[in-house]
């Protein structure tokens, strides 16, 4: 599905899970039109990998937070030597694990902010050989994740460079989001910094997106704006981010923008 500005709706669809009466796995179609597999016992869709670009894939997971249906996206990056990095992990079921392992060896799992870490433990359990990294401050928030490491600082050499770089968005200590740029595909990967909730959504999600200003266009959600504590630091880091020549914008929630991504991102941030 494409809007006039060619922003692709997340491939998982945005409808609530379809309730199947069969106790076996059954293929169903979401309101977004894509195929998933659903099991009555778990009330979850079984999602699969979809390609975004060369050496870049994604998979999505839909769940409910305080009554709000939310979709979240994991991005899979293949680095040199068939090393894989999993960004913002989702639950890893057997079929998804098989698909990931067919691409290479998972070496790195990244919880990119203090709000995108819910499924990191199960992902780390699925890939015990992988190093688990988290945004600044996440180790204090999740002391149960004994193997969690802080992301390398800018002056330190990260093992995923030069293909992939990350940058912390400063000024929002509640999230400490890190944004990621995949140089070969010119893809910028973010979690909550900017959002655009498109498509046929449940009424709760439509209402939330409208109230936060991310239903009709790409924007910094009002919920994110309220969390800014240092506007100068925020603007400095987002300006540094805009130095990356992104042609694709992958967000954790809902849309993937594949046309005029840099211009739309710049416009969204200019409204701050």
> Cα separation of 79 and 105, whole Å?
10
- What predicted TM-score, i.e. pTM, was given to this entire model? 0.84
For tokens 């909550």, what's the residue?
A: 192
* Partners of residue 61 on adjacent β-strands: 72
The mean pLDDT value for 118-123 works out to 95
Give all domains of the chain, ordered by start, each with its CATH number: 50-151+164-270 (3.60.15.10)
- Tens of pLDDT, residue by residue over 156-171, are 999 999 999 999 999 9
Per-residue CA distances from 35 to 24, 59, 101, 217, 244 (Å): 16, 12, 21, 26, 34
CA 70 to chain centre: 12
Give residue-wise pLDDT tens across range 12-56.
Answer: 333 333 222 222 223 323 323 232 333 333 334 558 999 999 999
Q: In this predicted structure, which of 35-39, 83-87, 182-186, 230-234 has the lowest mean pLDDT?
A: 35-39
Average pLDDT, the chain: 85
């Amino acid at each position: 599905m494409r809007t006039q500005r060619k922003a692709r709706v997340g491939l998982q669809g945005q409808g609530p899970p379809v309730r199947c009466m069969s106790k076996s796995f059954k293929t169903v179609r979401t309101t977004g039109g894509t195929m998933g597999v659903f099991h009555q016992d778990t009330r979850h869709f079984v999602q699969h990998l979809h390609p975004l670009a060369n050496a870049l894939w994604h998979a999505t997971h839909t769940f409910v937070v305080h009554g709000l249906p939310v979709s979240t996206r994991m991005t899979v990056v293949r680095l040199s030597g068939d090393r894989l990095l999993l960004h913002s992990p989702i639950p890893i079921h057997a079929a998804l694990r098989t698909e990931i392992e067919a691409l290479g060896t998972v070496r790195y799992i990244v919880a990119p902010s203090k709000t995108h870490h819910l499924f990191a433990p199960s992902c780390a359990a699925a890939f015990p050989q992988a190093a688990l990294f988290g945004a600044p401050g996440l180790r204090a928030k999740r002391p149960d994740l004994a193997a969690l490491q802080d992301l390398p600082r800018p002056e330190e050499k990260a093992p995923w460079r030069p293909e992939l770089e990350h940058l912390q968005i400063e000024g929002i200590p509640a999230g400490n989001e890190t944004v990621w740029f995949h140089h070969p595909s010119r893809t910028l990967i973010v979690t909550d910094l900017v959002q655009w909730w498109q498509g046929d959504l449940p009424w709760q999600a439509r209402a939330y997106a409208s109230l936060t200003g991310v239903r009709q266009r790409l924007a910094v959600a009002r919920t994110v704006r309220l969390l800014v504590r240092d506007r100068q630091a925020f603007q400095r880091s987002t300006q540094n981010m805009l130095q990356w020549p992104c042609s694709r914008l992958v967000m954790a929630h809902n849309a993937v923008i594949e046309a005029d991504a840099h211009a739309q991102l710049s416009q969204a941030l200019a409204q701050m």
